[in-house]
Amino acid sequence: MAFFRFNRAPDVEPVLNGDGLYLRPAVAADYPSWAQLREQSRAFLTPWEPTWPDDDLTRAAFRRRLRRQNEDMARDESYSFLILDSISDELLGGLTVGGLRRGVAQTATLGYWIGAPHAGKGRMTRAVAAAVKFSFSQLRLHRLEAACIPSNEASIRVLERNGFRREGFARGFLCIAGAWRDHCLFALLESDSIPAIAPRRSP
């Protein structure tokens, strides 16, 4: 069957270019800026993420994160990226196209975070647009899924601006900040009409 021809990991371009930003896998030299932005954004991020381990921001934990990132990409299971400003190279956040299911599914799940200083500026909308293009053109997926806590209006807007459709509601879907939380379920198909996003204005 033709559906099974994509079981081998595709050749993946290491850098995804977006409007005013780019995405690339993390490397060891990213640790200081990554740890600083995560710590600076702790109060902003923790209501929407799984509970952070006690050692989450340590260099040792970052090395484990890099090892897992590289292994997952080699196995065509997950693709994780940092999001950086295309002019200053400042770290903005992170994004993952993960949980890949090949065979007859050709599906993955999208996850993302943005540092508190960069929120509300359209950066994540543009990063997700780059990830959508990557998912359908390079990973050759059929479907990209995402889930949001219903009160996370900013994240929902990011998905809707990129053409994701709300498909359902899952009770107790993920353990977030130490509690099982309901989530709204979204998805985008390669055949869907993807809205054009207005170009970023110069500062």
Annotate 44-94 with DSSP letters as a single string.
HHGGGSPPPPTTTTSHHHHHHHHHHHHHHHHTTS-EEEEEEETTT--EEEE
Q: Is 179 domain-assigned?
A: no
Q: Is 120 domain-assigned?
A: yes
What is the CATH classification number for the domain harbouring 27?
3.40.630.30
Which of these, 167, 175, 124, lies nearest to 132 by C-alpha position? 124
Q: Is 162 domain-assigned?
A: no
Q: State the total domains in the chain.
A: 1
Q: Is 49 domain-assigned?
A: yes
Flag whether pLDDT at 202 surpasses 60. Answer: no
Share of the chain above pLDDT 70, in %: 91
Q: Is 96 domain-assigned?
A: yes
Q: Is 35 domain-assigned?
A: yes
Name the pairing type of β-strands 79-85 and 91-101.
antiparallel
* Tens digits of residue pLDDT in 55-100: 999 999 999 999 999 999 999 999 999 999 999 999 999 999 999 9
Lowest-confidence region among 14-23, 52-61, 144-153, 181-190:
14-23
Q: Which domain holds residue 45?
A: 2-145
The pTM is what?
0.91
Q: Is 30 domain-assigned?
A: yes
